[in-house]
Amino acid sequence: MNVKIYHNPRCSKSREVLKLLQAQGIQAEIIEYLKTPPSIEELTDIIQKLGIKPRGLMRTNEPEYKENILDDVDLSDADLITAMHKMPRLIERPIVVANGKAAIGRPAENVLAIL
């Protein structure tokens, strides 16, 4: 099984999901998304797999969200995805992709549904 985790090692929730995967015997491909941001295409694919709108994947409490006026309802989905690509701190974490599906690991047990 091919499993990816978009991971931030400084985030306790992200570390918790990684431990959960390892406890399941899963060797996930770890993508430190702050160092290697997902492409616009990858973000679009993740959002589709999650079945949400782009704003649902955004950390709205990050300073970048407010500084860049990303709460503007007139911004398109493409605008929001581009913002997450350029400012990956805006991306909610952790995200696990497996079996053609995706899950946000908040709570960590959410990822079990796609394994």
pTM confidence score: 0.94
Q: Identity (one letter) of the amino acid at 14? A: S
Task: Determine contact, residues 34/8, Cβ cutoff 8 Å.
Answer: yes
Pairing of strands 3-7, 95-98: antiparallel
**Catalytic entry in 1, 2, 8, 11:** 11
Question: Residue 1 pLDDT > 90, yes or no?
Answer: no
Active site includes 11?
Answer: yes
- Structural tokens at position 85: 């690509």
Please indicate whether residue 1 or residue 48 has the higher confidence score (pLDDT).
48
**DSSP letters for 43-88:** HHHHHHHHTS-GGGGB-TTSHHHHHTTTT-TT--HHHHHHHHHH-G
Report the pLDDT averaged over residues 17-40.
Answer: 97
Q: What percent of the chain has pLDDT over 90?
A: 99
Q: What percent of the chain has pLDDT over 70?
A: 100
For residue 105, which of 25, 3, 35, 2 has the smallest C-alpha distance? 3
Question: Residue 98 pLDDT > 90, yes or no?
Answer: yes
Domains annotated for the chain, with CATH where assigned, are 3-114 (3.40.30.10)
Residue that the structure tokens 């400084």 belong to: 10
